[in-house]
Amino acid sequence: MPLTEDGIYSVALRLIEADGVEALTMRKLATALDANPMSLYHHVPNKEAVLRGVAGRVSSRFSAHAVQDLPWQDRLRHMFLDVREVAHQHPKLMKYCLARADYIQPEDPFWRDLTDALALAGLPTAEITRTAAALCAAITGLLTSELTGILQQWSTLPPTPDSDEAPEPTRSEMDVMFRRALDAAVAGVENHPARASERP
């Protein structure tokens, strides 16, 4: 089969989820594609470009367009729950992506939908970017802690030094924890001191 960018990114994603970002090399990718390594460079210049392409392919799934008729609070919840779902589908890729400042770009549908939702919340233009950045930092930090197991480990800590450790939370308990944190983030936007009254 002829090489295509989409085919390269698809196979790269499979290799990343099998062995991690660090283990991906252009040679391994070429072998998985049954192609000459040099032929890959006609489509992608290096591993970094492959990772950007794979990340873009995955992040293109994030969009609030399907819920534009919902209140802005529910749009925010829907967007970040979608991010979490994709993070669980592709944990090794997302651990890499969520640690990079350049993962979110101004032209990304996710960023545009996020800033649109905050505009609907009545935030003044000067506050939208800062609030969006704070939301992304809070939620991606929470997700990174979950993907690395840190959140699960912290959840077992005893409430006092002489207490027993708690059992590790189940997946459904983790879902509840994430939703509570998300509700707190939405409440923070609702209580923003610069927020104007909601648009009709």
pLDDT at position 63, please? 59
Whether pLDDT at 200 is above 50: no
pLDDT mean over 80-103: 92
Q: In whole angstroms, how far apart are CA 148 and each of 65, 120, 141, 158? A: 30, 34, 11, 20
pLDDT at position 103, please? 86
| Closest C-alpha among 36, 25, 115, 42 to residue 79 | 115
pLDDT at position 152, please? 95
DSSP state of 167: P
Q: Is the dihedral of CA 122, 128, 178, 16 positive or negative?
A: positive
pLDDT at position 88, please? 94
Phi–psi pair at 20, nearest 5 degrees: 100, 160
pLDDT top residue among 13 and 196: 13
pLDDT in tens, 56-82: 888 877 655 556 788 999 999 999 999
38, amino acid identity? M
Q: Which two tokens stand for residue 173?
A: 């308990």
